[in-house]
């Protein structure tokens, strides 16, 4: 029984999106598909210990879930009308289109961002509700309610669970990429002391890889996968033994996963060869320059700065210019970099990292009193625990200098 339970859990985690996509496509309702699959998993837990595991476990689960769904629908007045609308043939073994359909449906623009991210994780990565709640540091009932509202929204809007046509990618792919990026960042930024957060970051990487495999002719999907792989390859060096953030400049590069970095670089080169540059490819290019450099000082800062210029042309965000200023510090000098940072004050005065960058540059220019004021403001504005701890240390260092 324990072996079967472990197998079913593994199947859920590796192919939840495909199975839910196959059932949702035929039933037209995520909630019904979820209930049907839950019934099928319970049936498998009863039967497989005695009957043995079928040749195609996912196919068995989808077929059994389909039959369970029809039984449920026939017992309900509204459901009986639905039975008449769906085809009699059960869905087959879940395939690429089913997984792709589920990811795109979960990332529908009609859903609010918190619900959209949670639903994507639940349906497309196989994480349980309790795991998602723990990763996002919210109570289990809150996350359950968030998922429930998202599923109800899908039903009310009549969202189709079908793989989008190629001409629809341009409109819908950016939302899918953005959600996967959010998933990764949510776990990556604060994963030092939390196994759930590390798992969330890994799920983001896996989702990006799956999307890149499903859409081999979409270079931005490959660009995102490469970007997340490059960041994740540094995970072992990003936090110290106390769970505190270690900045890139101070990381022990011997702890980086060099094989993963090389693989991500190859993925990025293949994407760039398609000749359709995009923000994720450019961000991956910047990450690759950092990851492939022998040291922080040996980084080609002029190339980093040039890539930020290209990124700003596609994504004219003040945050891009703030990051560019960091490259300016090393490519040109700290005084010009501070001028660039100061010029963003009207747009980023409420952003903690603007104040943090200002503090670092002021400290480098031997203006510790001004640096302390900026660092204290950064600490006031920071909300992430790991970043607050880092800024608190920075404030302490600056106070000792005075």
Q: Tell me the average pLDDT across 272-298.
A: 96
Does residue 78 carry a pLDDT above 70? no
Q: Tell me the average pLDDT across 90-101.
A: 66
For residue 386, which of 197, 117, 183, 227 has the smallest C-alpha distance? Answer: 197
Which of the pair, 125 or 395, is modelled with greater confidence? 395
Confidence of residue 384 (pLDDT cuts 50, 70, 90): confident
Lowest mean pLDDT among 4-8, 125-129, 324-328: 125-129
Its pTM stands at 0.77
In whole angstroms, what is the distance from residue 241 CA to residue 255 CA? 13
In whole angstroms, what is the distance from residue 399 CA to residue 372 CA? 7
**How many residues are there in the chain?**
402
Does residue 281 carry a pLDDT above 90? yes
DSSP of 105-167: HHT-TTS-HHHHHHHHIIIII---HHHHHHHTT--HHHHHHHHHHHHHHHHHHT---SPPPGG
Structure confidence by residue, pLDDT tens digits, 177-210: 888 887 788 778 764 455 546 777 887 898 899 8
Locate the domains of the chain by residue range. 4-85
CA distances from 198 to 63, 77, 205, 206, 212 (A): 34, 45, 11, 12, 21
For domain 4-85, say whether CATH 1.10.10 is its number.
no
332: phi then psi, degrees, rounded to nearest 5: -120, -50
Are 319 and 313 spatial neighbours (Cβ–Cβ below 8 Å)?
no
Q: Tell me the average pLDDT across 328-351.
A: 96
pLDDT at 20: 86
Q: In whole angstroms, how large is the CA radius of gyration of the chain?
A: 24
Confidence of residue 120 (pLDDT cuts 50, 70, 90): confident
The rounded mean pLDDT for the chain is 86
pLDDT at 377: 97
Residues 6+ apart with CB under 8 A from 3: none
Does residue 77 carry a pLDDT above 60? no
pLDDT at 74: 78
Angle at 350 between CA 346 and CA 356, to 5 degrees: 100
């Amino acid at each position: 029984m324990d072996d079967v339970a472990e197998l079913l859990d593994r199947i859920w985690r590796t192919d939840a999106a495909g199975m839910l996509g196959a059932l949702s496509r035929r039933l037209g309702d995520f909630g019904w598909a979820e209930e049907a699959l839950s019934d099928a998993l319970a049936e498998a837990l009863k039967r497989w210990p005695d009957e043995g595991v079928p040749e195609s476990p996912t196919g068995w689960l989808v077929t059994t879930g389909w039959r369970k769904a029809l039984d449920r629908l026939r017992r309900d007045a509204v459901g009986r009308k639905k039975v008449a609308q769906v085809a009699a043939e059960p869905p087959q073994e879940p395939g690429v289109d089913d997984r792709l359909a589920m990811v795109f449906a979960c990332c529908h623009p009609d859903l609010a961002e918190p619900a959209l991210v949670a639903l994507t994780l639940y349906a497309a990565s196989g994480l349980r509700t309790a795991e998602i709640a723990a990763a996002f540091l919210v109570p289990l009932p809150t996350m359950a309610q968030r998922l429930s509202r998202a599923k109800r929204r899908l039903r009310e809007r009549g969202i189709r669970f079908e793989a989008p046509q190629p001409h629809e990618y341009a409109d819908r792919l950016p939302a899918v990429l953005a959600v996967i990026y959010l998933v990764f960042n949510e776990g990556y930024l604060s994963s030092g002391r939390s196994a759930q957060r590390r798992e969330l970051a890994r799920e983001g990487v896996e989702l990006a890889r799956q999307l890149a495999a499903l859409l081999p002719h979409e270079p931005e999907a490959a660009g995102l996968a490469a970007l997340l792989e490059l960041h994740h390859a540094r995970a072992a060096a990003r936090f110290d033994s106390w769970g505190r953030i270690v900045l890139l400049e101070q990381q022990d590069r011997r702890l980086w996963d060099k094989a993963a970095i090389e693989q991500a670089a190859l993925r990025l080169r293949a994407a760039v060869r398609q000749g359709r540059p995009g923000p994720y490819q450019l961000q991956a290019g910047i990450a690759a320059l950092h990851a492939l450099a022998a040291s922080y000082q040996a980084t080609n800062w002029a190339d980093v700065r040039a890539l930020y210029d290209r990124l700003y042309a596609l994504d004219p965000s003040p945050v891009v210019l703030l990051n560019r200023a960091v490259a300016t510090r090393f490519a040109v000098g700290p005084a010009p970099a501070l001028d660039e940072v100061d010029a963003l004050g009207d747009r980023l005065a409420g952003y903690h990292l603007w104040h943090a960058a200002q503090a670092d540059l002021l400290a480098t220019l031997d203006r510790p009193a001004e640096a302390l004021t900026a660092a204290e403001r950064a600490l006031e504005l920071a909300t992430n625990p790991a970043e607050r701890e880092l800024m608190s240390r920075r404030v302490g260092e600056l106070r000792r200098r005075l």
